[in-house]
Amino acid sequence: MHTLDLIIIGAGPIGLACGIEAKKAGLTYQIIEKGCLVNSLYNYPSNMTFFSTSEKLEIGGVPFISNNAKPTRPEALEYYRRVCSSWKLNVRLYEKVDSVTKNAELFSVKTTKSFYSAKAIVLALGFYDLPFLLNVRGEELPKVKHYYDEPHPYFGQKIIVVGSANSAVDVALETWRKGADVTMVIRESSIGENVKYWAKPDIENRIKEDSIRAFFNSEVTAITPTTVEIKTRDGEKILENDFVLAMTGYQPPFDFMKSIGIEFQNDEFHTPVFNPETMESNVPNLYLAGVVCGGLKTNKWFIENSRVHSERIVKNITIRT
């Protein structure tokens, strides 16, 4: 089995950026992805518009031209396909990494399709596979969704949207405009401060005019096939309901990271230990890149501010070789 200089786990934008830097440096590398190319972006809502402008999403010197200043999900998918093809990146898709072990100075990587050996590993993991659960009775019912694609299935339905961040606000507005009866259940006392600037006044006005109902300082306590029970400031309420869209956020694969030996800081965000100058974790030659660096604070690292991770990582690897 040939030993590679680098294995990159994750073919999101930052994983691709790491592959580009490795190729520029003349390193042997392989990108391995459990799903499709830029899998997390693919699973975004079909009509989503990015908060960032197109130039901030660019990697590898490939221009990102979009119809408007803020690109859409289809435009981003097209762009990253073009990046991968333009750079002829070595990407293995639909190949899940089962385990990573370190023997002396080398890493052994076992996937669902093959085995690999590498001198260094980059974890460019997303966080879209493990949703935060409500942990209430009835959450296993088919009517409860932790992912959202498009509004059409919810036309004429009574839906509850759980959450107050960007995804919850987008879902509430879009489904309401397509004919759903929308109620939001929000733990906090207001809509999230980080909600996109064009969406925040929109949702606040819809709530103010009672087009969309909102229960603040509230939480779901139980779900049945026809109702949802919530706890509010005014006591318990039972609401008629057809669907629950739990837009409560997602988390990195902490168990997988721990299995490799990564340690975490003793903070509320479960932030992994790494050197910000080199992106190397506490495990020698094992690097972190992108959103995974923030632990539970998944809104800390975006494409635009973590593209530099790839340069830091490859620079550190080439210094050692």
Domain ranges in the chain? 3-130+250-320, 133-246
Mean pLDDT score of the chain, rounded to an integer? 94
Residues β-bridged to residue 237: 230
Identify the pLDDT of residue 321.
Answer: 67
Cα separation, 204 vs 189, in Å, equals 12
Provide the CB-side half-sphere exposure for 135 (13 A, CA). 1
Cα separation, 36 vs 64, in Å, equals 20
Give the containing element (helix H, strand E) for 215: strand 213-215
- Which one has a higher pLDDT value, 193 or 231? 231
Closest to 172 (Cα-Cα) out of 215, 132, 128: 215
Calculate what percentage of the chain has a pLDDT beyond 90: 82
C-beta separation of 282 from 198 below 8 A:
no
pLDDT tens digits, one per residue of 232-264: 999 999 999 999 999 998 888 999 999 999 999
Identify the pLDDT of residue 1.
Answer: 64
CATH architecture, domain 133-246 = 3-Layer(bba) Sandwich (3.50)
Is residue 32 helix, strand or coil? strand
pLDDT tens digits, one per residue of 61-76: 999 999 998 999 999 9
CATH architecture, domain 3-130+250-320 = 3-Layer(bba) Sandwich (3.50)
Overall average pLDDT of the 83-104 stretch: 96
Instruction: Name the burial class of residue 46, with classes exposed (0-12), middle (13-18) and buried (19+) by CB atoms within 10 angstroms of its CB.
Output: middle
Q: With a cut of 80, say whether residue 299 has pLDDT above it.
A: no
Identify the pLDDT of residue 51.
Answer: 82
pTM of the complete model: 0.86
Calculate what percentage of the chain has a pLDDT beyond 70: 99
Overall average pLDDT of the 189-200 stretch: 91
Q: Do domains 3-130+250-320 and 133-246 have the same CATH topology?
A: yes
Q: With a cut of 80, say whether residue 230 has pLDDT above it.
A: yes
Cα separation, 174 vs 73, in Å, equals 15
Overall average pLDDT of the 41-53 stretch: 86
pLDDT tens digits, one per residue of 105-123: 899 999 999 999 999 999 9
- Which one has a higher pLDDT value, 320 or 312? 312
Mean pLDDT is lowest, of 109-118, 183-192, 295-304, for: 295-304
